[in-house]
């Protein structure tokens, strides 16, 4: 794991702990220490204490993780149904798999081997077991296909989607803005699209020539897509969101907030008002839902109604 930056490593540790607890229902601190790679029980307890505070999308379902420790073993309770799932990027799943494969190589005990095998089997259902190509490899293949004018066949898992889809794409350009993107013409959608490189599970060059599209039309599409990715003016409207200070960083990294000076007090909690551009309503709402009570959507009214209706169904569902 050398070379990983400290915050990524911290995050992988938290994710490993969440998955282990979900997988095994209850575990002793000793077992959890062994599989999570946190050797010192004191450090493990500290890490579990922090987990309770992991309320930020996309690492837990819509509310906080609840830990249940009876002095001997520890369990994890997700307040909402787990079919809403932990939405991880391909890169995060690949890193988690690498951790478990490393453990599997070192492990000799048959019962622990069995647990590791069942975790790895689950991960293989999400990722192709042949492994994820590195972003360097993907980038190289895209650059070659662009210069040769050939189409690509990709397996792509869109943001927030559980199932990957196969797409045939004519690659036009690579764009780097916070994340790396491929811009191209998608034959399944019959339209220009952007694809995040870290969500491409497989990428195979083909011998098929790209569709002939007039240069001016292609340039125009590329600049529109760049504007979309970079949050340009576009024609989408703004939302006003009240949020707590704890979630500002994570919320901002996803929605690129514009802070205002307005704030309000609800009970003991201070909420700050920020603006954010809505590029896609469903995606926007799914991001906000992940922050639970730390975020209150103030405007626009249509979206606010959808959000309120969502929380009402959740609360009536959980009180039954």
pLDDT score recorded for residue 196: 84
**Cα–Cα separations (whole angstroms), residue 244 to 134, 189, 231:** 36, 38, 23
pLDDT score recorded for residue 233: 40
pLDDT score recorded for residue 85: 45
d(CA 262, CA 173): 41
Q: What is the pLDDT of residues 59-71, one digit of tens each?
A: 433 444 556 666 6
pLDDT score recorded for residue 197: 84
pLDDT score recorded for residue 162: 62
Instruction: Tell if the pTM clears 0.75, that is, is over it.
Output: no
CA neighbor of 51 nearest in space, from 78, 99, 17: 17
Q: Which CATH number applies to 238-319? A: 3.30.70
pLDDT score recorded for residue 297: 92
Domain ranges of the chain: 6-126, 135-229, 238-319
Domain 135-229 fold: SH3 type barrels. (2.30.30)
Q: What is the pLDDT of residues 242-251, one digit of tens each?
A: 998 888 877 8
Q: What is the chain's pLDDT, residue by residue, as a tens digit (320 residues)? A: 445 566 666 667 777 777 777 766 677 777 777 777 777 878 877 777 666 544 444 443 344 455 666 667 777 665 444 434 445 666 777 778 888 888 888 888 888 888 888 888 877 776 665 556 777 888 999 999 999 999 999 988 776 566 778 999 999 999 887 678 899 999 988 888 888 887 888 899 999 999 988 889 989 888 888 877 775 444 457 899 999 888 887 788 778 888 888 999 999 899 999 998 887 777 788 888 888 888 999 988 888 888 888 888 777 765 54
CA neighbor of 74 nearest in space, from 31, 136, 124, 131: 31
pLDDT score recorded for residue 80: 46
pLDDT score recorded for residue 101: 85
pLDDT score recorded for residue 59: 42
């Amino acid at each position: 794991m050398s070379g990983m930056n400290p915050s990524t490593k911290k995050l992988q540790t938290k994710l490993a702990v969440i998955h282990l607890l979900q997988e095994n229902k209850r575990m002793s601190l000793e077992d959890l220490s062994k599989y999570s790679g946190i050797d010192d029980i004191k450090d493990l307890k500290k890490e579990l204490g922090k987990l309770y505070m992991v309320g930020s999308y996309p690492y837990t379902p819509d509310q906080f993780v609840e830990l249940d420790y009876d002095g001997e073993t520890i369990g994890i309770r997700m307040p909402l149904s787990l079919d809403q799932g932990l939405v991880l990027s391909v890169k995060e799943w690949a890193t988690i798999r690498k951790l478990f494969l490393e453990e599997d190589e070192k492990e000799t005990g048959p019962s622990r081997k069995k647990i590791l095998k069942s975790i790895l089997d689950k991960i293989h259902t999400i990722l192709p077991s042949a492994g994820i190509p590195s972003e360097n490899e993907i980038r190289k293949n895209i650059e070659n296909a662009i210069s040769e004018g050939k189409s690509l066949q990709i397996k792509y898992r869109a943001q927030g989607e559980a199932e990957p889809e196969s797409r045939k794409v004519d690659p036009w350009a690579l764009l780097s803005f916070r994340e790396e993107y491929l811009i191209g013409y998608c034959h399944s959608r019959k339209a220009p699209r952007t694809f995040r490189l870290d969500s491409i599970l497989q990428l195979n060059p083909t011998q098929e020539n790209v569709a002939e599209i007039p240069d001016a039309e292609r340039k125009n599409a590329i600049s529109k897509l760049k504007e979309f990715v970079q949050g340009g003016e576009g024609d989408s409207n703004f939302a006003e969101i009240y949020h707590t200070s704890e979630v500002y960083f994570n919320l901002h990294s996803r929605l690129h907030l514009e802070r205002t000076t307005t704030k309000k007090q609800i009970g003991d909690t201070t909420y700050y008002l920020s603006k954010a551009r809505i590029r896609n309503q469903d995606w926007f709402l799914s991001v906000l839902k992940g922050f639970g009570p730390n975020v209150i959507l103030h405007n626009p009214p249509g979206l606010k109604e959808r959000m309120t209706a969502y929380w009402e169904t959740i609360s009536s569902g959980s009180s039954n």
